[in-house]
Every structure is written in structure tokens, then in C-alpha cells.
Amino acid sequence: MVSRNGIKSKSAAALGLALLMAGMTACSSGGGNNADSASSASASNADAGGSGSNSFKLWLGWTATVNNDSMVQAYWREHEPNVDVKLEATQGDALTALNLKLNAGGFDDAAVFGRNESIDSAMTRSGKVLPVEQYFNMPDKYPGLASIPKEYLDAMKDKDGHIWSIPTWFDQNPDDPWPGWASLGWFVRTDVLEKTGMTKDDLKTIDGVEKFLKAASQQTDEAGNKLIPLDFLSDANDENVILSTFGVSTATAGGVIPVEKKGDGYQFIYDDPQYKAAYQWMNKMYRENLLDHESVTDKAERYKEKVKSGRIAMNAGGFFNMDAHSWEILDGPTAPPWFYDTIPYPQVPGVDHVGINQIVNPFPQDDVYISKDTKNLDAILKFLDYTLQPKPEQQMVVTDGPPGVFWDWADQPLGKWKYVDANYQTPHDSGDAAKKASTTPELFQLSSYSNKWYPWWETAVTSPKGKQKTIDFSQQIGVMGTTRVSEPYDMVQAKPGGLWEKYLPELENVRKEYKAKLIMAKDDKQFESAWNDFQSALEKRAHWSELKQEWNETLQEQTKS
């Protein structure tokens, strides 16, 4: 069996769907037809790599402001790893740019792209890239490359055992992954909570939340207007937090549909009876005027303005959707957003555990391809061996240089850090893309990360003080039980020309249409009617039963030995 979430698709996804799912696909396709010639070229380049070249060109598969005289690149060139890296950015669509480049003869040395099956297929089928599997087995020469977790590499092998790219931006410890920027939760204004005479302990249950919402509905904002008790940005699917509260999992890792393992089979999101229960609760709140009646139609800017002006007592959803900037600019209790605090997901009767709304995918998110015609193989491998050293702080090292140069530890290694070079920090933090590019190309994508230390949670200088709230929120939410590591069934892709490719857009149309009808139903009878219509639309318009059958078949195909 292919190891956890390292699925090898049998063919490249259709272009439109691949772009929709960009960066989330699991693994690489074949390319075996080019293996013999590429392997021969690899051996030749391996010999040529000892020529002493310390320079190579790296093509970035994304738009970027490039300054090849940046301070970090100068450090790489003059100190460690003594390699001169010259960058070239992509303009416009990555896949289109790649096809044009390959048709024009290929790239010079190396190229890095976000993991995408269509890109991988184009690379391997072109016959212009090297197989690189041998370099992961040279610990004496390339210890960084040899440290890449074996399960990542095994999942990348084609039928002939070749690996066509060097994986980057992965978790160094797949069994204890970094939980990510968890942002989906419940947020309460503590100043409003205090005015109601309640405490956060009173919000541990969904009944307690309802009691608070009723009390908050009697409070007013600074202008004397009644507060909105509960709000979320439905346009960003913030209601997923409420679905999770009722035990429904809403996340995938690039797969076509949220699914959870149930016994010997799988439960799809719309078949979970708690999906209906969650919308019944939202409808109840709507009918009792405890949920903002504009929640279904509001756009982001309108919603953020309500947060900023203090119109809302409690929010469910993502705090980035609320606009973290509204409290990050504050140094104290000078505006309503300062008083936001997160609370645990409230307990719902009969729900044993909350649903998953964030899937942690420790597998590589980027791939570096090497041209079979490069004359600078040694420099490429030397540089990637440096960026992929398995140190918890390595993403910081690759982004901003090693400690003691432009930044340093404020207290102890793997503790707090701060910038120590004003000539670096001032342009870096200026907000000007060109000035920042003069300091660093910010190539964290070429490194890896670790749960042992995450730099943006450990800054010694957090000013204004409100910036710390964002860090605290994410760390607190990350341990609330709504996050888990990805599994193969989280990454099931649509077959090219299959039913999912054909009906997925209509399935999404059905979901959006009926979530609004369910939330805004005027009474129980209308809710039941909308629910029955939803079930009917799933079958008639989206071919739900057929989609589930194809999904199961695809999972079996993608997880074969």
C-alpha cells in the first residue's frame, strides 16, 4: 500500500480541475519512457557536477519581485553554502509558462513549482528533467537530502522506481506535524460577556451559548444600536465552524469531498445526520433574531466593518475573515476588536467529538526539478542539501539567513528571536516589495518545517501588543480537536473525464443554494421542505449516488500497491 496520503495518481488531472486543486495533489506520475536516457544524462551530469561550478539559475513557478543582489543571496554566495543562486520568476499562469518553456528547449538548471500533478506530468513527459533518486542515498555527501522522510520519497516513485523531483516544504516529523495556522473557531467579545454577567465557563455548552446570545441581544454598541448576537461570513463558508461543533467534518487535503472513516466504509459530509442538525440550529438562531440576517449575503468588507466597529457580540468562523488586522494594530483596550477572545468548541448533546475543519498535510508541497542539460548539478545539489537540513529553525535560516547575521536568538536557541541588523530589518519590514526583495527572496518553499519551533509564533518583539492575539488564537485553536493529519481518503481526486469532473461544479451550486434556504427557512415546515429538496437536488442535479460510487472506485485505484 502507498503510505499515508502519498497517493500516486494513474494519470494527470484535466487542466481545469488541476488548476482548481493546485498545490494539493499528492504525488507524481510516470515518465518511465524517458528513464533510460535521463538516467544516462544523470550519470553524465553527476560526473560533470564535480567541475567546481558554484552558480546556477533557479526558475520560480510563481510571480515574485526578484533582486539577485539581495542580502541573503549574497550570504549564500559569500559564506554558506558558497553557491550563487540566480532567480527567475514566472509571469502569469504557471502551467502555461511551463509548457512554453519546455517547448522552447527547457529551463537552464533548476525549477521549483508548487506540487501539481499537471506540472509533474509535463515535466516528466518532456524528457528534459533528471531522475534524482540516487541523491537521497548519499548521506556522506548530501546529508540534508538523505534526511528526507522515506515515506515522502516512496510515495514519489514511478513504476520503475524513479523519482523526478526533489521534494521541499514538508514537515520534518510526519508523525508529529506542525498543526498549521488554525483559524476556525468561536470568538466572543469579553467586554460584552462581562456586561451580561456571564463568564467563559458559561459558554462550554451550546445551551450556554444560546443563553449568552439572548443576553447579548439586549446590549448596545457605542452608537446605541442593539448588538448582533452571532455572526459569520457565509461567503467564506464560516458556518463550517458550527458544522464542526455538531460533529461534522468539513475539510479535505485537496480531495473532491469531505469524508470520514466509519467502520469499514466512509461517511460523506452530506450523509452525516449531524449536517442537518447543525443547520437546524443555525435556522433556530436565525428565526430568533440571534444570528445576523445578513450573514448569508454579506461580503467580506461589510463583515469586517461590523467586527471593527463593535457591532457583533460573538463570531463563528475564521479569525482572518474577521480581519486580524483590526486587533493587531491595537496596543490596548482602545477599540472593540481588542476584547475578542477564543473559546473551546461548545459541547452539543449527543456529539462525542467535534468535526474536522483543518487537515494537516505533512507531505511535500513543492518540487524542484533539475534539467538534464544542466552544467551546474553540483551547485544545485549542494544548495538544496543546505536548505533541507533537518533543523527546526531551517525555514528561518533559508528565509532570513542563519542566526547571528540578520537575526538572532533573544534568549536561547529555539526560543524567542529578533532582528539584529537594522540595515536588513528596515527595508524588510517597509511594506515595499522592491525594498523587501533587496533583503531576501524569501524562499521558505525550498526548506522544511517542524512542530518543534515555528518562527512567526516566537518573535521577541510583538508590537503593537494586538499582534500577539493572532498568535495566541492560532495556537489555542490548534489543540481544540478540529485538526488531524491527512489520510489517503482526504486526497481522492477526480478522474479525467469522470463523473466528479463533470458534476462537481453542480454539486457546489446545490450546496450553496440550499445552505441559504436551510438557514433562512421561516418555520420548521419550510425547513423540512428545503431539506427534502436538498436531498432530491443532490441526486437529480449532482448525481450524488453515482459520485460516491466513483469516489470509492477511485480510492481503491489510488491506494493500490
Q: Kindly report the CATH number assigned to the domain that includes residue 195.
A: 3.40.190.10
Cα gap 211→381, rounded to integer Å: 61
- % residues pLDDT > 90 (the chain): 84
d(CA 22, CA 384): 23
Residue 366: strand pairing partners: 114, 168
* Mean pLDDT score across all residues of the chain: 90
**425 falls within a domain:** yes
Query: In this structure, is residue 25 part of a structural domain?
Result: no
**Has residue 237 been placed in a domain?**
yes
Measured in residues, the chain has a length of 561
CB atoms within 10 A of CB 96: 12
Residues 233 and 329 in one domain: yes
Residue 561 — pLDDT band, cuts 50, 70, 90? very low
Tens of pLDDT, residue by residue over 431-450, are 899 999 999 999 999 999 99
* Per-state percent for the chain, helix, strand, coil, to nearest 5: 45, 15, 45
Same domain, 158 and 200: no
542515498: which residue's cell?
Answer: 137
389 and 370 in a single domain? The answer is yes
The Cα–Cα gap between 483 and 479 comes to 8
Residue at 82 is within a domain:
yes
User: 329 with 416, same domain?
Assistant: no
Whether residue 212 is found in the same domain as residue 335: yes
In a domain, 416, yes or no: yes
Question: What pLDDT does 8 receive?
Answer: 33
Cell numbers given for 158: 514511478
pTM: 0.79
CA angle 389, 393, 425 (to 5 degrees): 120
Whether residue 314 is found in the same domain as residue 189: yes
* Residues 482 and 351 occupy one common structural domain: yes
CA dist., res. 105 & res. 117, Å (int): 21
CA torsion 542-545-548-553 (nearest 10°) is -120
Residues 377 and 257: their CA atoms lie apart, in Å, by 41
Same-domain status, 321 and 470: yes
Angle, alpha carbons 276-280-286 (nearest 5°): 145
Comparing CA positions, the residue from 426, 436, 473, 174 lying closest to residue 319 is 473
Indicate whether 144 belongs to any domain: yes
Is 328 found in the same domain as 257?
A: yes
DSSP label of 93: -
Q: Determine whether 497 is exposed, middle or buried from the number of CB atoms within 10 Å of its CB (0-12, 13-18, 19+).
A: exposed
Q: What is the number of structural domains in the chain?
A: 3
Measured CA to CA in angstroms, residue 352 lies from 179, 204, 241, 348 at distances of: 22, 14, 16, 8
d(CA 45, CA 105): 18
The answer on pLDDT for 37 being more than 60 is: no
CA neighbours closer than 13 Å in the CB half-sphere of residue 484: 22
Comparing CA positions, the residue from 561, 360, 338 lying closest to residue 449 is 360
- Looking at residue 28, its pLDDT comes to 31
The pLDDT of residue 438 = 98
- pLDDT at position 461 is 80
Q: Amino acid identity of 52?
A: G
- CA 376, 382, 385 angle in degrees (round to 5)? 140
Residues 255 and 234 in one domain: yes
Pairing relationship of beta strands 483-485 and 358-360 according to DSSP bridges:
parallel
| Together in a domain, 202 and 339 | yes
Q: Is 309 a domain residue?
A: yes
Residue 100 shares a structural domain with residue 198: no
Cβ count near 434 (within 10 Å): 10
User: d(Cα 372, Cα 34) in Å, to the nearest integer?
Assistant: 11
DSSP 402: S
Residue-range definition of the domain harbouring residue 248: 184-359+466-490
pLDDT in tens, 499-554: 999 999 999 999 999 999 999 999 999 999 999 999 999 999 999 999 999 999 99
- Residue 480 in any domain: the answer is yes
Q: What is the pLDDT of residue 52?
A: 52
Range from 20-24, 69-73, 88-92, 206-210 carrying the lowest mean pLDDT: 20-24
- Report which of 405, 371, 372, 368 is spatially closest to residue 383, judged by C-alpha positions: 368
